[in-house]
Amino acid sequence: MEKTLVIIKPGAIQRELVGEVISRFERKGLQLCGFKMIQLTDEVLAEHYAHLAHKPFFKRIKEGMMITPVIVCCLKGIDAVHIVHQMAGKTNGREAVQGTIRGDFSVSVQENIVHTSDSLDTAEIELNRFFKPEEIFEYKQNNFGFLYANDEF
């Protein structure tokens, strides 16, 4: 089973979309293993978005991510990284397919509702950045047998 990170961004918080976003992941069958609201700092964002530090919009991204607290989530499931990333849709909400989170709720590149990990390696790094080990929980999901065939896990 894979674990992956989702950050529900300030725009989603302000627009009161948190329940809708979490609900989509739960209805898909992903297990919520960690969930908390945090205020991001300049230092954490500089690390998290280091790959964009040379871009002219980097300062705007950091400022936008600190407008309100964010919600960080750990989701678990078979192929969870791929599933969550696909459910989010293209980064640019104007290009994201309807039915995806960004396609349904975003018309922006930056104000695009969620951040999701894009690979297993990235997910591990990002989960360690935002969660202590004791903040990610392992528990039996009651509907597990109805989510996967017995030869899938």
Contacts 24+ apart (CB under 8 A), 54-63: 57/110, 60/110, 61/110
Specify whether 48 is catalytic: no
Smallest CA-to-CA distance from 10 within 49, 85, 93, 66 is with: 66
Catalytic residue chosen out of the listed positions 48, 51, 82, 115:
115
> How many CB atoms neighbour CB 98 within 10 A?
8
Which amino acid, residue 129? R
- State the catalytic residues: 115
